Structure 1
């Protein structure tokens, strides 16, 4: 059984453990194949559709590509759409937009403050994700994992862009998925039991997060996760920037960072410091079935 909350900018689902989430991602991928849903690369599709076989009569002496029959791989223009656009442009009057000099000059302090305030107000619903909604049913005792997906607003993407030097996360969709596991031990103390439990959770998270990211990639999206022990992306290029679970940026994802003096520990809204938290990033939109439908089908 799983409880689920859908709000503007986020989805929260409770599951028994991470293994269930991985199995449901796999089941969606297999179901998509049965339903005939195909995910493909547009560039590869165009390349395959334009493949031209050698001439059956002239063999290798014939043109390799029948679109370019003349020497020097030159052929007639058959893009009638482009020709029609040029003709239409000639018929219409040339209306050149006037240059707005205000966009060329640097912003004044009050203009920059106004832009920042407007961006903040438009994103405040997505930033304030503290668990305070009374309509959300609490997880049952068997649900020890929280799967929280947040649509990352533009104002927060700059905080994460240095983690992925080869991916421009400032454009397109960006969803941040936080996987929180309720632990048996309090993570504010150190003991052999705490260390053993943490190592087991670390291993299961890395394996499960890798399979979830693979499911997103099979669906045609980019995905990566932060390896908790190093604080760096697991699949991305090397970077000196890190995101450990005690990073202050986790406050913007709805968690608290408790300063114990000698160290810091992350705190979950429901489970407090009895929690292990990992993070995934993907270009899949929040309403994609891999995110929105990750719940019990019973």
Structure 2
């Protein structure tokens, strides 16, 4: 059932890929880091695999888990991902959503995973792709050795940063590799990014562009991290993989949610949903 669902989702992405308006851009980026390299053990340790669990009911049924998006561990109880990964999807609930963490090989038999207690999405706009960010509160605390820092509201990404994830060999085709892939991409100015997309696609405030060369994110990398290193050596979550036109399309960058612009929203959700407080059902920007 889960395999059929995943194939159906991929078919939907493929049929939308050539549409003209931003409302018809595939919600999920194609799923492999294009022209990247295998991440070494200990690298990109903040990367998580977001997986759906199916089956498991009854004495003879085993639970199966399938990767469908990425995400980033930002502290011992919270993961940042893309809103479009979990927004208004009736088949995704906190009961069947799991986070696989602390691994470069998500298919390893001993890979650690933990359930999701609650899902929070920003005021995501499916038509414009604005506010494509979500928070997942984990059921239990995990090791923070792999967490990446959240940027302050004043942070502005620049230079070369790293995008990572698990996914296809090319857009809407191939297979998802077990090993985590990573690639370097260059952050563009908003003006340069808008000029490359032209008048058909608007780059809204809260969106960040990177790439446009031979490396890029792709479907299944959705929700994953764009991490930049500061002059002091601190790794900062600059962006969340959001949308794009194909994968590694010449001159066309990938579009990310600019995490710094959601600093207040992130802090508010986390503060309002500590273990000692009653959880809220949603949170708007």
Structure 1 and Structure 2 fold alike (TM over 0.5)? no
Greater strand share, structure number: 2
Which entry has the higher C-alpha Rg, 1 or 2? Answer: 1
TM-score by length of 1: 0.22
Greater helix share, structure number: 1
